[in-house]
Amino acid sequence: MYQRLERSHGNVLGYEITSKITEDEYKQLTDELRARITEHGSVRLLVRTQGFPTAELSALDDDLRFAKEHLSDIDRCAFVGDEKSVELLVKASDKVVSTRARHFAPEDEEDAWAWLEE
C-alpha cells in the first residue's frame, strides 16, 4: 500500500510505502508519475518506507517497462527509512543509473525534502 504525501507539489512528489504494492496501486502510481513527467519534463521523488519497498510479482513487468521508459526522467530520488538494505540499494544504484539517489534516516526527512526542492 502507498500514499502520496501532502507536501508533494509540482514535480516534487513524496510517497509513503507501508506494505507490498499491488499491481493496481503500481499502475496508479506510475500513471501519476507519467503525468507529472509530461507536465514538468522530470520529477524528483521522496520514498518513505519501513523496510525494503516491494511490489506484487505481477507488477514487476510494469516496473521494468516504466524504468526503461522513464528512469532518465527522475532527476533525484530520496529514500527515507532506517533499513540498511535501502541504503545499500541507493549506493548500488549510483553505480548503474544516472538518477541521483540518496538515503536519509527518518529523523532527517526534512533534509530530504530540502535536497529535492533545491
DSSP string, 5-49: -TT-BTTEEEEEE-SPBPHHHHHHHHHHHHHHHHHHS-EEEEEEE
- The predicted model scores a pTM of 0.79
In the block, cell 508519475 appears at 33
Q: How far apart are CA 56 and CA 45, in angstroms?
A: 21
All three cell numbers of 45, joined, read 521523488
Tell me, what's the pLDDT at 56? 46
pLDDT in tens, 34-62: 999 999 999 999 989 876 555 544 444 45
